[in-house]
Amino acid sequence: MAKDPVCGMEVDEKTAEYKLEHMGKTYYFCCQACLEKFKENPHKYMEM
């Protein structure tokens, strides 16, 4: 399971409908709204 970087919800990588590759890493999201928030400011949500 992956963690949605925006809301912290657990997301199954195998069935995730919303995902995005950014700087060589794939991020998984629970919904379109979380994906859009991430796209607006990815560095706010990225784990460093």
- pLDDT tens-digit map of 1-48: 999 999 999 999 999 999 999 999 999 999 999 999 999 999 999 864
- For residue 45, the surrounding DSSP H or E stretch is helix 42-45
Residue 13 · residue 2 · CB < 8 Å: yes
Give the pLDDT score at 31: 98
* Tokens found for residue 1: 């399971």
* Tokens found for residue 44: 């706010």
Domain that holds residue 8: 2-45
Count of domains for the chain: 1
* Backbone phi, psi, residue 8, to 5°: 85, 0
Give the pLDDT score at 46: 83
